[in-house]
Chain A
Amino acid sequence: MYRYDEFDQRFVEERVAQFRDQARRRLSGALTEEEFRPLRLMNGLYLQLHAYMLRVAIPYGTLSSAQMRKLADISERHDRGYGHFTTRQNIQYNWIKLEETADILAELASVQMHAIQTSGNCIRNVTSDPFAGAAADEFEDPRPTGELIRQWSSLHPEFSFLPRKFKIAVTGSPNDRAAVKAHDIGLRMIRNEDGDLGYEVIVGGGLGRTPMIGKVIRGFLPKAELLPYLEAVMRVYNLHGRRDNKYKARIKILVHEMGEEPFRKEVEREYARLDVESLAAPAEEVERIQAYFAPPALENLPEESKAFERARTADPDFRIWAETNLHPHRAPGYTSVVISLKPVGGAPGDATAEQMRVAAEAADLWAFGELRVTHEQNLVLAHVKKDDLYPLYRKLAGAGLDSANRGLVTDIIACPGLDYCALATARSIPIAQRLTERFADPKRQRDIGPLSIKISGCINACGHHHIGHIGILGLDKAGAEFYQLTLGGDPTETAAIGERAGAGFSAEGVVDAIERLVDRYLEIREPSETFLQTYRRTGAESFKDALYAEAG
């Protein structure tokens, strides 16, 4: 797993000292709020609806058990005993004190964590597949690519004052679990006809008020050319991206306004001008990074586990959990485990200090001391022996971490919404709570099958609602919360922006409306068809009359 080298460690420590001084100067009056605001944002500290909010980076969503314990400690010592894991694979604390922030950053630095580049118009923390390095369908671990980009972009003078924030996602598998087409740049590893590995480069995706699916601007980029090519993309963006209007400043607008083909040509022209050799990452550096992500020492195991089979037969709850919350591992006898942070009636992505500790302990006992945070706001143990699944499950169950719902209707993504967010127009979390209660019955959930509901509390779309099979956008209509539905969104390699279903619903009405949608799907689906497949086959019309039946 990645460790800071000495230089990084010193850099992070200097930033902590710098922030300590800045906070002191703010409190003594040497800095006004206007002067201080950009400085605190550069360190992940926002002023939110109730208090300061601190956003801590979890690069590529990977963290050690020691880091997870530190996150638990911080939530207890400096917050109210819980934290919120987000769609950006990071964690947010909601109740942070300015006067304690430098201490928190120092504590984070002691386990090589930080809050840098979680805010501001820079290249944000790179996100990737939560099953990176473990998934059976993966060409290669995408995290070394993420790390290479991080090192290249972190202190790049040209890129710290971009027109707007910039988000990059990487997947090493043809099955996109990192929503790469909804990012400013998405990289998807592929093999060409010669069997060489490279990237499909996708540019100009994004959500927010102008949702766009990214465009493929290079079908195959040889691996070694990654940084020079990204450099060319960033230069074109820096040169032509709009700085006059922050709503038009993202690269998606540039690609859209220039047109896909002219943009591609511009990038290729810039690329032809660059000294590719000197900009490419040196091979030793790539190897060094690769070594940080070296896979753990896996044993040679038979594919089937007798202990697992026995437990499955003996404990029906375990069997149900194992059906949904495991993900195929590349090594026989191993599996990845999804720890759902979506209990019925809970806030999606919230975990208490105790739950974080239990997850850390489980990682130590059975998963090489390593955890992942997913953009679906769950946790993952990447490398677990099937033999160990039952004791692991029992441990998780003891802390309320055994929800058997990965990918099902109650595995809802929700942004903090009006319960926490100063920008919100409506609440998100309570809608998730009502929906999980409505669909709590495990049998019904499994009958419905794969279905993702994603909720945002305003048009900024932090809850990814545009790419939910069912998206919910919370708005305000004359003082009342009001929810608009989109249907048919898809975050994967077949990415699509959901279509507006029609008039919105009240907070009370939206749960019933979704239940009617789901019932309609159950009525009209063909055998083994998922919600999304049925929607694509039959179109919006067959759902609309169910949605608006009551109104008529």
Chain B
Amino acid sequence: MAKAFVSSILTANDLREGWSVFLTRDGRWSRDWADLRVAASAEEGAELSALGAAEEAARHVVGAYLVEIDAEGRAKLRRERIRAEGPTHRADLRRADALTEAA
């Protein structure tokens, strides 16, 4: 049986600047994890992936992939939360609204 689809957002790295970016509802790449376009079904997931590939081909970003989110809209994996919120070892390197527990 196919794995049930988990709601996901699209991330990549900005090709020029390198920073991790996230695709917003209005189709922009943003450094902020806010107002992101969410794929709620397998079809929407495939669409979002295709969009990522197109954005790579257009040389806006590099390394696009889907990130699974939980019911609160946060990345499920710690890795992805740190990627979105910044390193956890220095408060000044983190986003002000970072939620990931410091170790």
Interface residues of A (CB under 8 A from B): 26-27, 29, 33, 47, 49-52, 80, 94-99, 347, 418-420, 424, 427, 429-431, 433-434, 479, 481, 507
- Say yes or no: is B5 at the interface (Cβ < 8 Å to chain A): no
Chain B residues near A98 (CB, 8 Å)? 15-18
Q: How far is the CA of A479 from the CA of B79 in the complex (A)?
A: 10
Q: Is the CB of B18 within 8 A of A427?
A: no
Q: Is the interface of A mostly helix, strand, loop or mixed?
A: mixed
Per-residue A-contact encoding for B69-103, CB less than 8 Å = 1, 0 else: 00000001111001100111110010000000011
- Who on chain A is nearest to B84 by CB? A50
Separation of A481 and B77 alpha carbons in the complex (Å): 11
CB B9 to nearest CB in A, in angstroms, measures 17
Chain B residue numbers with a CB within 8 Å of A431 are 103
Chain A residues within 8 Å of B88, by CB: 419, 427, 429-430
From known contacts A418-B82, A419-B88, infer whether A481 and B17 are also in contact, taking CB-CB under 8 Å.
no
The answer to whether B103 and A97 touch across the interface, beta carbons within 8 angstroms, is: no
Q: In the complex the two chains form, is B63's CB within 8 Å of A47's CB?
A: yes
Enumerate the 6 nearest inter-chain pairs by beta-carbon distance, A residue then B residue, closest first: A430-B103, A52-B18, A51-B18, A419-B87, A429-B89, A99-B16
Number of interface residues of B (CB under 8 A): 25
B102 engages A47 (CB within 8 Å) = no
Give the distance in Å from the alpha carbon of A418 to the alpha carbon of B86 in the complex.
10
- 27 residue pairs from A and B, CB less than 8 Å apart: A27-B15, A27-B59, A49-B83, A50-B19, A50-B86, A51-B17, A52-B13, A52-B18, A95-B18, A97-B17, A98-B15, A98-B18, A347-B89, A418-B78, A418-B82, A419-B87, A419-B88, A419-B89, A427-B82, A427-B88, A427-B103, A429-B87, A429-B88, A430-B88, A430-B103, A434-B103, A481-B103
Set of chain A residues within 8 Å of B76, measured between Cβ atoms: 479
When chains A and B are docked, how far (Å) is the Cα of A98 from the Cα of B90? 25
Are B20 and A50 closer than 8 Å at their CB atoms? yes
* B55 contacts chain A at the CB level, 8 A cutoff: no
Instruction: Determine whether the beta carbon of A419 is less than 8 Å from that of B82.
Output: yes
Residues 10-33 of B, flagged 1 when their CB comes within 8 A of A and 0 if not, give: 000101111110000000000000
Given contacts A47-B63, A420-B87, A430-B103, whether A481 and B78 have CB atoms under 8 Å apart is yes
Chain A residues near B20: list those with CB within 8 A: 49-51
Given contacts A98-B16, A98-B18, A430-B89, 8 further A-B contacts (CB under 8 A): A50-B87, A51-B18, A96-B18, A97-B17, A99-B16, A419-B89, A430-B88, A479-B76
